[in-house]
Amino acid sequence: MSGDEVKHYINAAVSQERRTAMPPQSQPTIEQGQAKAIAPEPVDQKPAEQKQTEVTPSPALSAQPRETGSERTPTSASNSTKWINNFVSQTALIWGNQGSGKSWMARYIAKLKKDKGYRVVVLDPDSNRAEWQGIESYHDFDEIADFLRWYVGELMARYKAFNASNMTEDAWRAKLWADGKAIALICEEVTTYVDLIEDKELLTQFFRLGLTKSRKQEMPLTFVSHNNNQTALGGIKGLANLIEKMLQLELQTDIDPETLQPVASGKGAVKLDGSNQWVPVTLPKLERKITNFGEVQPTVIQQPVTVTEPAVEPQPEEEAIAPTETTTELKVSDSLAEPLKSIWLFTKEQQCWVTVRDIQRKNFAVLKGKSSEQIHQYLGLLSDGGYGEIDEEGKSHSSVAFLAH
């Protein structure tokens, strides 16, 4: 038999599968723990295992910037709202949609300001004094305009006094605190001011000075609004860049799945003064709206806090209104001291009823920093002295009218 015939018979006897199959491997020995001895793991894999076991912080904390020095980043609930201290002493904007809880947050910050020692004043056209017990508050738009006018005059007076002094900034600010002149103003529903306060020049001056000059004179502002663009402060032109740079707190909302209404989420974001970075934060948990802020403080307007005395002392009121027998306007006006003289000449020139608000719009230098109540009193003195008639019954201070004789 030839070799080819032998090969043919062998192939016929052995199946194709048996001729091509690999020998069986002894797998159980390797699976039962011999792998480390045969193929040890590389040393550089161990750090990867440790990284996988680290605890991942919550998004609100992980997004916060790391603290430098020896202090550790706080993680406990008691320290999680330390960021809010930025809003106690700095001018800031609190904003958010309806239902975000911004009004409750503004009250919480007002309480912190008062606890720190500020004389807190609130301008809230949608509320009343019962909602702000223990804090000086104004709610009628005429009253709000009066206070804005006082604020502008006081802030400018402080800067002039500081510029004329030989004190350092730190010493000056310490003196303001020591004299009880640290004032914090909270402006609720600030978007509506431009619609209901007629003096647009006053509003522009108030917003510009407040955004740029308030902090160093210990007169910080807190604005509460629905948004953070230029319309947040009434759409007054030229404020967008100032708003963009200021300290801000955005309060975020969730949607109630049943009512489909926005509700406070307890979350927010903070943008620090001069920064473009938004940092997620957890808001303090508030169980109720704060309406009682403790012991009543002395009011700001009735006890003016200007840091300099007037350069010219007015004459005693009884002398200022002493009637004269002469009838010419020159003689009559010369018998009056300022500011009665300027007020009377202006009202005489109009030849009609003139309100306190009309007088304020003239921006007389002698009336700088004077409230509508004080101007009302001046009109009363002129009336008592026979220089005209006053219509004051049932009217707010700014609506009181005077007709010169």
The per-residue pLDDT for 8 is 56
Query: Residue 371 pLDDT > 60, yes or no?
Result: yes
* 131 in Cβ contact with 141 (< 8 Å): no
- Residue 289 Cα distances to 105, 124, 239, 261, 313, angstroms: 9, 15, 31, 20, 46
The per-residue pLDDT for 344 is 86
Query: Residue 221 pLDDT > 90, yes or no?
Result: yes
* 155 in Cβ contact with 213 (< 8 Å): yes
Query: Residue 58 pLDDT > 70, yes or no?
Result: no
Per-residue confidence at 381, pLDDT binned at 50, 70, 90?
confident
DSSP annotation of 90: S
Between these two residues, 222 and 58, which has the higher pLDDT value? 222
Quote the mean pLDDT of the chain. Answer: 76
Q: Are strands 388-391 and 401-404 parallel, antiparallel or unpaired?
A: antiparallel
Q: What angle do CA 148, 120, 180 make, to 5 degrees?
A: 100
Name which of 381, 344, 351 is nearest 359 in CA terms: 344
The per-residue pLDDT for 3 is 57
Between these two residues, 113 and 67, which has the higher pLDDT value? 113
Question: Coil, strand or helix: which one is 14?
Answer: coil
* 95 in Cβ contact with 227 (< 8 Å): yes
The per-residue pLDDT for 163 is 92
The per-residue pLDDT for 224 is 93
Which residues sit opposite 137 in a β-bridge? Answer: 122
Per-residue confidence at 348, pLDDT binned at 50, 70, 90?
confident
Could you give the count of Cα atoms lying within 13 Å of 315 in the half-sphere of its Cβ?
Answer: 14
Per-residue confidence at 306, pLDDT binned at 50, 70, 90?
very low
Instruction: Note the pLDDT tens digit of each residue in 230-272.
Output: 777 777 777 888 888 899 999 887 877 787 776 777 788 999 9
Dihedral, 338, 342, 344, 347 alpha carbons, nearest 10? -160
Could you give the count of Cα atoms lying within 13 Å of 224 in the half-sphere of its Cβ?
Answer: 22
The per-residue pLDDT for 325 is 40
Between these two residues, 204 and 22, which has the higher pLDDT value? 204
Euclidean distance between CA atoms 336 and 325, whole angstroms: 13
Q: Which residues contact 370 (CB under 8 A, 6 or more apart)?
A: 153, 339
Domains and CATH numbers, the chain: 83-282 (3.40.50.300), 317-404 (1.10.10)
Query: Residue 186 pLDDT > 70, yes or no?
Result: yes
Question: Coil, strand or helix: which one is 332?
Answer: helix
From 44-48, 197-201, 246-250, 265-269, the region with the lowest mean pLDDT: 44-48
Query: Residue 17 pLDDT > 70, yes or no?
Result: no
Instruction: Note the pLDDT tens digit of each residue in 99-110.
Output: 778 889 899 999
Per-residue confidence at 89, pLDDT binned at 50, 70, 90?
very high
Phi, psi of 98 (to 5 degrees): -60, 135
The per-residue pLDDT for 53 is 36
Query: Residue 191 pLDDT > 70, yes or no?
Result: yes
Cis omega before residue 339 (within 30°)? yes
Between these two residues, 14 and 179, which has the higher pLDDT value? 179
Query: Residue 60 pLDDT > 90, yes or no?
Result: no
Which residues sit opposite 403 in a β-bridge? Answer: 389
Instruction: Note the pLDDT tens digit of each residue in 143-175.
Output: 999 999 999 999 999 999 999 999 999 999 999
* 108 in Cβ contact with 284 (< 8 Å): yes
